[in-house]
Structure 1
Amino acid sequence: MSALTVVQVGYGVTTQDLGRPGLSDMGLGAAGPADRGSAALANRMVGNRPHAAVLEALLGSVALRTDAHVVAAVTGAPCPVSIERADGRVRGAAAYEVLLLEPGDTLRVGLPKDRLRAYVAVRGGIAVEPVLGSRSWDSLAQLGPAPLSAGDVLPVGPAVRGATATTDGRATAGDGLGVGPWPVVDAVPPPLLPRPGDPVVLDVVPGPRDDWFTPDWRATLTGQDFHVTPDSDRVGVRTTADASLVRAVTRELPSEGVETGSLQVPPAGFPVLFLADHPVTGGYPVVAVLTPESVDRAAQLRPGDTLRFRIAR
């Protein structure tokens, strides 16, 4: 089995797969990638099945040395990417490209200018030992394979044949026995980002507790800029703004189940946007829920970023 050695870790790197849904009766959330779309894209680019584990790197800043031929891809935050040969020579590479690594190569992912989380996939997936059926690190429950440290050795799983490509680049179906020698694509377009200074727009669906707020809650939520506070993490994006949401119902709300993307409103009146490691229950009312695409956008917000909410049609 091939392996990757962690040469450098910057702001924090964890292993994430599709998570461990269905364990809320044990008080455990699903975890998984904060930006599921970017993680899924990385897996598709290298020919993995959806459940393969990837690396989630906060602000990029990770370096991995391979001992075998490896197919890799980096998505999410648009990080600078390079491949360093064993003799020290460096060849160009980029995020959102399929990368072909040779034994002794070091894949270096640098600090992005914007967005927060990068995803590194390798063909075969990161094959660390699962915990309760998942290779996801849950920062709230402190459960799963531990965050990476320099010197860690990460096994790479056996590749599973999906689609391969012919020598002229045309995609063809695999036979289910292994992996083809060519990726289906060599690059994909990076996502469109807001212009510098423009707020990130997040779509929400009202409820389930929007009736716990005064009738002007929609205008308050959608009519002003919100800003991401420094205490945001994989549990949730915490926000502040000029005007807070005002409760119409002031009695205590019994704890109830909450979903990823919920906008829970604590007493200060500024929403907390629940991400992958959110608690399974909450005692503050949820005024609205992000659409799945907006959850991914929220997962890429940095402290200080500006966002606006929009009611989904």
Structure 2
Amino acid sequence: MSLEVLDAGALTTIQDLGRFGHAHLGVPRAGALDAPAAALANRLVGNGRAAAVLETTLSGLTVRTHRARTIAVTGATCEVTVDGRAMAHSEPISVRAGATVELGHASAGVRSYLAVAGGIDVRPVLGSRSTDTLAWVGPARVQDGVWLPVGTPEGAPAPLDVGVRRTAGRHLRIAPGPRADWINDSAWRDLDHAAYTVGADSNRVGLRLQGPPLHRARTGELASEGIVLGAVQLPPSGQLVVFLHDHPVTGGYPVIGLVDPDDLAICAQLRPGERVELRVQSSSGRGAGPSAGSSTG
């Protein structure tokens, strides 16, 4: 069983849960940016949670199946057709051998996920089938004309499941990070409920936010330190960067905050030009900023 890629779109990559335990070697984790959407697609076709899927970016994907199989499309809203016939989004779809499956341009969100019963069965690299777009570790970027192997189905398609559709009016919860004291309490209060616009240069490495610049309370620069998924970095420009799954493992700008892990999937689907509001959280729940009870260490 294999998929023939007829049109790979702007950027299609193979992703699974990610590549863990190699940051000390300079290897990012990678993995599906909208992890809940990828997990839903796998459940719908009867795959285990670690099965690899195809992650598209805005412009869709067209493939041809070479054996009858169950598929599902989740994530960003898009038109799904099989041999030109409209099919449901976020539901299991049975396709015949030789069928042409097309995911159209995303009408809401950025990244759609195509799961096939059996999973995309490329060779793992360092324990993962995920493509890392920063260091290009793992499978190559999906190109027109390639044939992708598909594994043996593991279980029956899910009879019923529920996908979460993310709509406008989104916000990101941010807790103070290890360098929270690089901005003062007044700046933390300004940051709470501040509106930012998603930058056009956002990608799998990081979500770039454009808005009111934050001014540092300290001068100088840091030596390079470790970076984790969801880290909110403050460059000299004062414009924030939220690091996503293909982030570098170290960075030299202060990490003032961390995005709540449950909000990372929102970052995956924010389109350039969309607005997002920040909500500053504290460990005590009593307000915004480090002085409300969060540690700055």
| Partner Cα separation in structure 2 for residue 249 and residue 10 of structure 1 | 44
Cα RMSD over matched residues?
Answer: 1.4
Q: Aligned AA for 1:95?
A: H
**1:263 aligned partner:** 232
Partner of 1:42: 41
CA distance in 2, matches of 1:97, 1:186: 8
Secondary structure at the counterpart of residue 185 of structure 2: coil
Query: Does the 8 A contact of 1:78 with 1:113 survive in 2?
Result: yes
- Secondary structure (helix, strand or coil) at the match of 1:231 reads coil
Matches of 2:150 and 2:176 in 1, distance apart?
43
Equivalence for 2:30: 31
CA distance in 1, matches of 2:207, 2:166: 21
Q: Match of 1:164?
A: none
For 1:163, the equivalent position in structure 2 comes to: none
Following superposition, the deviation at residue 306 of structure 1 comes to 0.6
* Residue 240 of structure 2 is aligned to residue 240 of structure 1: no
1:122 corresponds to which residue? 116
Task: Give the structure 2 partner of residue 176 of structure 1.
Answer: none
1:286 aligns with 2:255: yes
Q: Secondary structure at the match of 1:116?
A: strand
Consecutive unaligned residues of structure 2, counting only runs of 5 or more, are 286-297
Q: 1:102 & 1:294 partners in 2: Cα distance?
A: 37
Q: Deviations over 1:79-106 (max 9, x none)?
A: 110100xxxxx32202111111110111
Paired letter, 1:134: S
Residue 122 of structure 2 is aligned to residue 148 of structure 1: no
Aligned to 1:225: 195
Residue in structure 1 matched with residue 290 of structure 2 by the alignment: none
- Alignment partner of 1:184 is 2:153: no
The alignment status of 1:205 with 2:205, answered yes or no, reads: no
TM-aligned CA deviation for residue 189 of structure 1: 4.2
* Kept in 1: contact 2:232–2:258 (CA 8 A): yes
Change (3 A) 1:64 1:143: same
The percent of aligned pairs where both chains have the same amino acid is 43
Residue among 166, 186, 209 paired with 1:216: 186
CA distance in 2, matches of 1:224, 1:311: 10
User: For 1:297, which of 266, 270, 289 is the aligned residue?
Assistant: 266
SS in 2 for 1:20: coil
Q: How many residues align?
A: 282
Structure 1 match to 2:220: 251
State TM-score, norm by structure 1: 0.86
Residues 39-92 of structure 1: per-residue CA shift (max 9 Å, x gap): 1111111111111100000014101111111111111101110100xxxxx322
Q: Is the CA contact (8 Å cut-off) linking 2:40 and 2:163 kept in structure 1?
A: no
Q: Distance in 2 between matches of 1:254 and 1:304?
A: 33
AA of the residue aligned to 1:264: Q
Secondary structure at the aligned position of 1:77 is classed as: strand
After superposition, the C-alpha distances for 1:167-197 in whole angstroms (9 at most, x for unaligned) are xxxxxxxxxxxx34xx222563442412xxx
Structure 1, unaligned runs of 5 or more: 85-89, 161-178
Kindly indicate whether the alpha-carbon contact (under 8 Å) linking 2:191 and 2:280 is maintained by their aligned counterparts in 1: no
Give the Å deviation of 1:207.
Answer: 1.6
* Conserved? CA contact 2:74–2:163, under 8 Å: no
Report the counterpart of residue 15 of structure 1 in structure 2: 14
State the 1:148 CA deviation: 1.0
The answer (yes or no) to whether the contact 1:98–1:187 under 8 Å persists in 2 is no
Indicate if the aligned counterparts of 1:60 and 1:118 stay in contact, CA closer than 8 A. no
Question: What is the match of residue 101 of structure 2?
Answer: 107
Cα deviation, 1:228-265, whole Å, max 9, x if unaligned, reads: 11111110011111x21111121221211111111111
